[in-house]
Structure formats: structure tokens, C-alpha cells
Amino acid sequence: MNRLNIAALVLAGTLALLAGCERKTPGDVRTPANADPTAPSASAKESAGTNETRSEIKTEMVQIPGGRFMMGNKDEVDATPHEVVLSPFFMDKHLVTQEQYQRVMSSNPSRWKEDKNPVEQVRWSDAVSFCNKRSELEGLQPCYDLTTWKCNFDANGYRLPTEAEWEYACRAGTTTAYFFGDTPAKLGDYGWYEKNSGGHPRPVGQKRPNPWGLYDICGNVWEWCNDFYKVDYYQEAPRENPRGPEKGETKVVRGGGWRFRAENCRSGYRYNENPGYADVCFGYDIYGFRCVRKASASN
């Protein structure tokens, strides 16, 4: 794994945020001196909407069929290829946007303020709290116990995808390094990364979707998964519906991001980050998420 480059980029982001460790409230955003002039304005409007209730936010989901696939990447030490069988599920067509997050959570922790941009500077714990609140607003059973952070996979509410679900949905039936081929030549058609992002996240849905209709599944922001990370987990994982190790220190993130290299956007590329359960100072502008729901006869 080529993690030194990612570590350096994350360190650079950390240093940029240390000037104001607190989570910035809407309107309290500092634009770095070297920011791209095309970046969204720090004073962009908040999208609470005085005439709309928080439950009115609508999000399209894609039904992902159940099936089997070869998960992993033979060139990565922590991604031994192995067969996985998954049940069907629903996945958000787009990354959760700042507009959606604001309406559900009444806050927007993002550094790069813009309604249609993916929400970022969110901890794993922020993402699962959003999942629970979104479930409650729609009359669904929340999946997470916010005391133990355990996930009830039998609940009909929203949750983060397992790592296996994420990779299965990203690959969309393909077996190549990227869902569009073995080289990154076409990556710019599907995702925002270091060579085309302009130095900041971009509004969701501007690039082409993968074969199953999922937008920004590679690039823009890394996506939190439900699983704890373990280097050799693939060697012990169950074949059907794997849900990650029982415990760990970090959580899996997938998909690459706006200031990362093309190789980090590969379908089988794994990375991990501290979940930030209680650290109010944690938050990098490279992490976002999308939600999933179990598929059942009632859906």
C-alpha cells in the first residue's frame, strides 16, 4: 500500500485546520490564502429553508441487486482477493450533500461551503448520527446505538455501507481495477481527483455514474464505511455478508478524494481513519459518506 503519500496529504490538511481546532459553525469559515479562485465562497448561503421542514429533504436511492463477486486486489497486501456473497440493498445515488445534512442535523461542519457539495469534515460518528436522524424523520427504525456505536443490521433505517457492500456497488459487475477499465485514463469522466478538482470538492452528480447509476463513487470525498479496519480481515471474513471485525481502532474509508491520486480511486483500494467518536477537533475536508438501507419485501 502506498500510504505515505496519503499520510502526507492528511498531515497537510491537519496543519491547515489546527489554527481553529473547534468545529466551525456556519458562517465561521476561513478561506486559505492559496485557495483556488473558483472555489465556493466561504459566505455561501446556508440551506436550512424557513418554509421547509427537515423531513422534506428527498434523496434518490439505487437498488443494488444481491449477488457474488471477487472482492479485493491482488496487488495490495491488505486486500487478498476472495469471493463474497451479498444480499440486496439500497444505496444513495449521490453522496450526502451539505444541503441534506443541514436539513437533517441543523448544522453544516463542512469547510467548503456549497449546498450541492458533499458534506465533509464529518467524523464517522457524525455520519452514523445522521443515519439515525434521517431514519427517525422518515418513521424508520434507527440502526445505531449511539452509546455503544453498534449497528443493528435487521433495522429498516439508514446506515453506512459495509466495506463489502461499498466495493460491490462500486464495481457494479466489473472485475477491472476501476469500473471503467484497468487504467485511469477515463477517470476524469467519472470522478474528481487531484488532476481535475481545482483544489477543492465539487458539487455531486456532475460526472458520469458507474454502470449501476451511482455518482461520485470514485473521487470527490472519501466515503466512510461501517466496518472497523484490519489489515488481514479478508483472510478470516465470512463469505456471506461480511461486516468487518468486531473491534478496532480505525474505520474503513473508500473511493479516493479530490486531492488524491488516481490509484487511490481504484475499486479495491482500502484506506482507514480514526472514527472520531468524541473528538470535537477531528475533521478533515476529505471525508464524506452515503447511506444504505436493507432491501425487503416491503420496499
pLDDT score, position 296: 72
Instruction: Specify the number of domains making up the chain.
Output: 1
pLDDT score, position 48: 34
pLDDT, tens digit, 9 for 90 and up, residues 56-96: 567 899 999 999 999 999 889 999 999 999 999 999 999 99
Q: What is the mean pLDDT of the chain?
A: 85
In 3D space, the residue among 176, 296, 168, 275 whose CA is nearest the CA of residue 226 turns out to be 275
Q: Cα dist. 95→4, 35, 248, 288 in Å?
A: 27, 23, 25, 7
pLDDT, tens digit, 9 for 90 and up, residues 100-140: 999 999 999 999 999 999 999 999 999 999 999 999 999 99
Q: Cα dist. 203→7, 39, 91, 185, 213 in Å?
A: 25, 11, 19, 22, 17
**The CATH number of the domain where 278 resides is what?**
3.90.1580.10
pLDDT score, position 102: 98
| Residue whose grid cell is 473491534 | 247
pLDDT score, position 185: 97
Cell numbers at 52, concatenated: 421547509
pLDDT score, position 281: 65
pLDDT score, position 115: 98
What is the DSSP track for 171-218? HTT--SSBTTBSSGGGHHHH---TTTS-SS---TT-S---TTS-SSSS
In 3D space, the residue among 227, 240, 271 whose CA is nearest the CA of residue 73 turns out to be 271
Query: Is residue 153, in this structure, part of any structural domain at all?
Result: yes
pLDDT score, position 75: 85
Phi, psi at 31, each rounded to 5°: -90, 125
Query: Is residue 39, in this structure, part of any structural domain at all?
Result: no
pTM equals 0.83
Range of the domain at 284: 3-18+60-294
pLDDT score, position 277: 76
Query: Is residue 97, in this structure, part of any structural domain at all?
Result: yes
Low-confidence ranges of the chain (pLDDT < 70): 1-57, 278-283, 297-299
CB-based burial label for 16 (10 Å; 0-12, 13-18, 19+): middle
Q: Are 79 and 72 in contact (CB under 8 A)?
A: yes
Query: Is residue 218, in this structure, part of any structural domain at all?
Result: yes
Query: Is residue 25, in this structure, part of any structural domain at all?
Result: no
